[in-house]
Amino acid sequence: MLTVSESTKIRNLAFPFVCVLWLTYSSMLPVMAQKPTKLAAPAPPTPEEEFRSIEGKWHVLLAHEADTNLTDRPEYQNSSATISDKQFQWSSADGKTLFSANCNWKHVGKPAWDVDLTPTSDTKEPTKLPGIAVLYDKDILKISWRRTNLDKGRTTNFIGNREHTILVLVRHPPAKPTGKANLVGQWQMLTALDDSLDKLGPGRTSAVAIFESDSFAWKSGPNDKGSKYAGGYQLDLSAQPARIKFNITFPPPGSGATPTPKDGFVPGILEFLDNDTLRLCYRESGWKNSDPPESRQYPKAFYSDGDMNLWILRRAKP
């Protein structure tokens, strides 16, 4: 049996070792107990912060009203719009006023805005034109307002028909294409006018058009398996404007709300505004199914109406 003095010696010898074990174990406890944490998503901008991205000078990429693309008219080419919380000023390249209005902006849910425009030319009886707006990526702004039949109220989508105007605005004007512009790749769809109605809807969208060397697909998102519109194509870059001959395979030719011809041939035109910005117009109707393919006329201009569809595309950012 150990004496008291011998037990004390053993305890004194063991104490440092026990302390080391305890310190080592206790230092591991926070690591063992710690759970991996996810980084919090950045807070969405407040309406005030988002409006600061709307204010300032914009360049007009598309101006469409009364089923007509105004930006193809000389006085509207290279025009710009300057926006503040109280003023909307649309000016020609040489500084002449194309449209001027007092305005009132109201945030109605990200990313949507209501905007009321009161033309400054209406000095006797001011008329309020109700509209909507949405901001894309801080460098694209879409705005649409009602011009006539004001008793019908505010539009719920972006429209450029007989009753409405739609503008697609960009922060930086397109540079001239270098001649090396390439259609192949993934393109962000900014506008898809069908009967002058933007089929992309009133909010932001992830819709893309993906062009391979001889095929294309319009998808709701880059990773979607299905397509809204798809098929093959051939380019004729010698024509002015360049021609694109679609061979539609989906929806199946001869089916859908506006059936494509059973042979799938749909004539279109395209133009690179710069290497990364493109507009494309194609004829979806206006012929008889009995008409031979060669009788289907290519569009003569970039606009949308009952027979023509117009896309505005920007090369997707990597």
Q: What is the CA radius of gyration of the chain?
A: 30
More confident site: 9 or 58: 58
Asked if residues 132 and 112 have their Cβ atoms less than 8 Å apart, the reply is yes
**Does residue 150 share a domain with residue 68?**
yes
Of 111, 143, 170, the residue at which a domain comes to its end is 170
* pLDDT grade for 144, boundaries at 50, 70 and 90: very high
**Span 240-256, pLDDT tens digits:** 999 999 999 998 987 77
Report if residue 97 sits inside a domain: yes
Q: How many structural domains does the chain have?
A: 2
Where residue 256 falls (left for φ over 0; alpha for ψ -120 to 50; beta otherwise) is left
**Does residue 155 share a domain with residue 211?**
no
CATH code at position 142: 2.40.128
**Span 169-202, pLDDT tens digits:** 999 999 888 877 799 999 999 999 999 999 998 8
**Does residue 189 share a domain with residue 166?**
no
pLDDT for the residue numbered 225: 86
Q: CA–CA separation, 165 vs 147, rounded Å?
A: 7
Of 143, 170, 197, the residue at which a domain comes to its end is 170
- Mean pLDDT of all residues in 288-298: 84
Report if residue 151 sits inside a domain: yes
- Mean pLDDT of all residues in 94-118: 93
Amino acid identity, residue 12?
A: N
**Does residue 190 share a domain with residue 278?**
yes
**Does residue 274 share a domain with residue 191?**
yes
CA-nearest of 101, 116, 51, 56 to 80 is 56
**Does residue 252 share a domain with residue 198?**
yes
Average pLDDT, the chain: 86
Report if residue 31 sits inside a domain: no
Q: CA–CA separation, 45 vs 154, rounded Å?
A: 25
**Does residue 193 share a domain with residue 311?**
yes
- Mean pLDDT of all residues in 146-151: 96
Q: CA–CA separation, 209 vs 229, rounded Å?
A: 9
Q: Which residue has the tokens 């879409």?
A: 142
The continuous run of DSSP H or E covering 23 comes out as: helix 4-33
286 CB neighbour count, 10 Å cutoff: 13
**Span 251-284, pLDDT tens digits:** 898 777 677 888 899 999 999 999 999 999 999 8
Report if residue 9 sits inside a domain: no
pLDDT for the residue numbered 117: 97
Report if residue 121 sits inside a domain: yes
**Does residue 91 share a domain with residue 119?**
yes
**Does residue 122 share a domain with residue 223?**
no
Domain that holds residue 288: 185-315
pLDDT for the residue numbered 266: 93
pLDDT for the residue numbered 138: 85
- pTM here is 0.84
